[in-house]
């Protein structure tokens, strides 16, 4: 838990907690905007506090032209909450100040969804087949196999080459070769196991002589790292699927 040390140090200062509260109210603020919330402080002072928050992983920055925007990263706070607050002090959490609004925000925020649209030079039938056949999924879906009876209400399981369960869920809707909706339960790590089940919907439609695959992953729990990490996961899976269907060869990418 030594990696949490910078988080505690960062949270120990009231100015820094104020900056986090301000980013919680509105994400993406510039230094100038954040500095306004600390009228007593110089630009350099505000910068120093933001640097401490950034080093603790509580704030993520992104440069846009000459401006640097600051975004809240809730993950370290959630880890603190899971590790110490939930375990030892649940009855107290309501009266904790400082972290309070913040944690409630993380817990009450709406669920996260991700939408992907990819166009393929293939037929809807071939694309459909690629979603449900293990010999194909193993070549583009992190090596996972898929197993199901493929009817509404049936379960499905995706397992690693060593047979370890990684994802499972239930088929909610199935309309070949157009639409497949399933619940999504992740099992690949502790964070993912704690997440409430989410939902994925694949929609396939013709687009000229190509076809379009839309993937909607909705109902992701914002308090889990997985809510964001699945985004790059899907980008890689869909990129690999496209390469496989269009060239016949798998894509040899390393993740992230």
Partner 1 sequence: MAETVTHLFEIYINATPEKIWQALTDGAMTQQYYFGTSVKSDWKAGSPYQYLMPDGSSMLDGEVVEVDPPKRLVTTFKAQWPGAENEPVTTVIYEIEPAGEVSKLRLIHEGLLPDSPLTAGVRDGWSQILSAMKTLLETGKPLPLQPSM
Residues that bind partner 1 (CB under 8 A): 26, 33, 64-65, 115-121, 207-210, 231-232, 235-236, 239-240, 242-243, 246-247, 251-256
CB of 144 to partner 1, least distance (A): 17
- If the CB atoms of residues 110 and 255 are measured against partner 1, the closer one turns out to be 255
- If the CB atoms of residues 117 and 175 are measured against partner 1, the closer one turns out to be 117
List beta partners, residue 32: none
How far from each other are the two terminal CA atoms of the chain, in whole angstroms?
24
- If the CB atoms of residues 190 and 209 are measured against partner 1, the closer one turns out to be 209
**Residues 177/124, Cβ–Cβ less than 8 Å:** yes
Listed in sequence order, the residues at least 6 apart from 139 whose beta carbon sits closer than 8 Å to its beta carbon are 240, 244, 250
CB of 253 to partner 1, least distance (A): 5
- If the CB atoms of residues 114 and 224 are measured against partner 1, the closer one turns out to be 114
CB of 123 to partner 1, least distance (A): 12
Edge to edge, the sheet with strand 145-148 lists 112-120, 210-220, 198-207, 179-186, 165-175, 155-159, 145-148
Tell me the C-alpha distance between 209 and 222, whole Å. 38
Tell me the C-alpha distance between 19 and 8, whole Å. 15
Strand segments (E) across the chain: 29-30, 59-64, 67-72, 112-120, 145-148, 155-159, 165-175, 179-186, 198-207, 210-220
CB of 137 to partner 1, least distance (A): 17
CB of 120 to partner 1, least distance (A): 7
- If the CB atoms of residues 7 and 245 are measured against partner 1, the closer one turns out to be 245
């Amino acid at each position: 838990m030594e990696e949490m040390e910078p988080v505690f140090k960062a949270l120990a200062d009231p100015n820094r907690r104020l900056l986090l509260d301000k980013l919680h109210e509105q994400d993406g603020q510039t230094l100038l905007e954040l500095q306004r919330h600390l009228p007593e402080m110089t630009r350099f002072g505000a910068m120093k506090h933001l640097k401490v928050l950034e080093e603790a992983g509580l704030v993520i920055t992104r440069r846009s032209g000459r401006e640097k925007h600051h975004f809240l990263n809730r993950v370290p706070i959630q880890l603190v909450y899971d590790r110490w607050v939930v375990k030892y002090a649940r009855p107290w959490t309501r009266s904790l100040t400082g972290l309070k609004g913040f944690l409630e925000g993380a817990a009450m925020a709406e669920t996260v969804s991700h939408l992907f649209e990819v166009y393929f030079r293939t037929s809807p039938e071939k694309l459909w087949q690629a979603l449900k056949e293990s010999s194909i999924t193993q070549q583009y879906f992190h090596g996972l196999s898929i197993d199901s009876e493929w009817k509404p209400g049936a379960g499905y399981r995706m397992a690693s080459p060593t047979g370890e369960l990684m994802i499972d869920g239930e088929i909610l809707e199935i309309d070949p070769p157009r639409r497949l909706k399933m619940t999504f339960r992740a099992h690949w790590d502790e964070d993912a196991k704690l997440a409430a089940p989410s939902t994925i919907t694949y929609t396939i439609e013709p687009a000229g002589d190509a076809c379009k695959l839309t993937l909607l992953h909705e109902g992701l729990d914002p308090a889990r790292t997985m809510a964001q990490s699945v985004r790059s996961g899907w980008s890689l899976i869909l990129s690999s699927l496209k390469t496989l269907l269009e060239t016949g060869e798998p894509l040899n990418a390393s993740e992230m």
